[in-house]
Chains A and B, each alone.
Chain A
Amino acid sequence: MATITVKRPKLSFVEKLYLPAIFKGLKITAGHAIRALKGSTPDKTMQYPEQKWDHELPEHYRGAPALVTDEHGRERCVSCQLCEFICPPRAITIIPGEIPANDQWAKVEKAPREFKIDMIRCIYCGMCEEVCPEQAIFLRKDYAITGTTRAEMVHDKTRLYEIGGVREGLVNKWNELK
């Protein structure tokens, strides 16, 4: 690579004093301050709890992970535990359970007895969504997950279905018609 020698600019005496440059800088910042005080600065800052960005969240936004049910109200999750294994911070705990033989969905065989996501540990990476063969777990747009105790921050199965809601279409292999 060829070396390009850049000549340093020769400073005049006034420039070497630095003071004019300092005053110029002070003028610029004062201009910004005066504009802000007059209120003519474009209002870029969002006052968070009052103003929110929710309606502008993109489709691929990675918020809190949640479980979904399909159009028949069936839990999509078959408790294969892949998400539990892939989860980098080990936030997911699944206790698998059996679907009784007299159930409508007996051929699915397994459903989670308990499904917990510790939201203190969750890093919102979306690995669980990626790995799920049943498309049962999705990252939703909820982002303000707060609680006053550690226990409150662990989302159990009911809470997860509450956030997740129903997702139609997608995987249809457990459909009665097939």
Chain B
Amino acid sequence: MDWFFTLSTAVKVVLSIVTLLTIVALASYAERRVSAIIQDRVGPNRVGVPLTLFGAKKDWAFFGLLQPLADGLKFILKEDFVPAHVKKFYFWLAPALTMIPALLTFAVIPFGSTMVVGEHTVPMVIANLNVGPLFILAISSLSVYGIVLAGWSSNSKYPFLGGVRSSSQMISYEISLGLSLVPVLMVFGELNLSKIVDYQNHNGWLLLPAWGEGLSVERWVLMIPMLISFLIFTISVFAETNRMPFDLPECETELVAGYHTEYSSMKFALFFMGEYAAMVVGSGIIVTLYLGGWSLPFGLLQNDEGSIWKSLAHVGCFLTKVVAWIIFFMWVRWTLPRFRYDQLMRLGWVWLFEIALANVFLTAVIIMIFRK
């Protein structure tokens, strides 16, 4: 293991965690601003740079973009209250267990084309695993522990109900999440996310096969199962990240705040950040698999010999797509009402599961016809 690999990996790890947490912080601001403009309100627009402290005449409001900083400060300074009736060890463990999986899954998502620095090449992915999608499914399936343990260790009824709901919901939707991925992997014939993105870069995105090999009849016919798979995957990601139409584990009209009712201060903030980090990573996976990852549409900037600037442009492209997806997540949240619990289970088991299963066969048949 040479020093350059170690150093570049360390830099990538630090930078991606910093970026991820920044996006999480800004997402918590964007959530309120998006909800505000959808509901004809204004939203947080105050917290900016307090120039008056340094003798200026007016503060610079900066669209309230520094709101997350103020929130973070508030969370740190608040009293970290642990109720007497909780099971202490698990109560402390749970917030960490929700945050860590979300950060871990980011390791296998490629966020840019390979960068050439001098005579070295730096792949813009932290761990270039050959089982990328499986790794993501495996680690994200661990995130349920945080919620279940939070609900159980709080030792009171609303958190407990939230935890039970969450575990059954996440197990149910993991099935359709995994099954909807199978057709995609069949089309690519590959489990390495970097290679998947590279293929899409040269041969058209999965949902936009408009250049390279993508202009074949096969790819356009395959659009039908791919769209179905995309739809199911997106819905399942919504359910896995406990986002709005499916946020039953913390549905405030029935369960106060669900599994994090008893939490306060920074421990609550960890749950909050974990939810948003999961959302960022979910968007990242959707973008990587269906929308070409870091590649630009219509084969722009696709040739391989890469300068640093081109690689950075690709990183920017990836971030743009991810941010667009996060805004879509919020748009959906402020549009749709919450599902009832039985509707949620019916949708997961009766509809999504069956359709995903049929979709596998449909894809197999189409591939067999065209590649005979």
Please list the residues of chain A having a beta carbon within 8 angstroms of any beta carbon in chain B: 22, 25-26, 28-30, 32-33, 35-37, 41-42, 44-45, 47
B76: chain A residues at CB < 8 Å are none
**Is residue B365 contacting chain A, with contact meaning CB distance below 8 A?**
no
Expressed in whole angstroms, the Cα–Cα distance for A44 and B39 within the complex equals: 11
Rounded to whole Å, the gap between the CB of B261 and the closest CB of chain A is: 28
Shortest beta-carbon distance, A113 to chain B, in Å? 41
- Tell me whether B22 is interfacial, beta carbon within 8 Å: no
State which residues 5-62 of B face A: CB under 8 Å: 34, 36-42
B366 near A: Cβ within 8 Å?
A: no
A25 near B336: Cβ-Cβ < 8 Å: yes
Residues of B within 8 A of A30 (CB): 331
Tell me whether B335 and A25 are in contact (CB under 8 A).
Answer: yes
A29 touches B42 (CB 8 A): no
Query: Residues of B with Cβ closer than 8 Å to A?
Result: 34, 36-42, 331-332, 334-336
Chief secondary structure at chain A's binding surface? helix
How distant is the Cα of A45 from the Cα of B36 in the complex, in angstroms?
11
A-chain residues with CB within 8 Å of residue B34 when the two chains form the complex: 33
In the complex, the answer to whether A44 meets B334 with C-beta atoms within 8 Å is no
A61, B42: Cα distance in complex, Å: 27
30 CB-based A-B contacts, threshold 8 Å: A22-B335, A22-B336, A25-B335, A25-B336, A26-B331, A26-B335, A28-B335, A29-B331, A29-B334, A29-B335, A30-B331, A32-B37, A32-B38, A32-B39, A32-B40, A33-B34, A33-B37, A33-B38, A33-B331, A35-B40, A36-B36, A36-B38, A36-B40, A37-B37, A41-B40, A42-B40, A44-B40, A45-B41, A45-B42, A47-B42
Distance (whole angstroms) from the CB of A141 to the closest CB of chain B: 25
A101 → B minimal CB distance (Å): 56
Question: With A and B bound together, what is the CA distance between A47 and B41 in angstroms?
Answer: 11
Chain A residues with CB under 8 Å of B42's CB are 45, 47
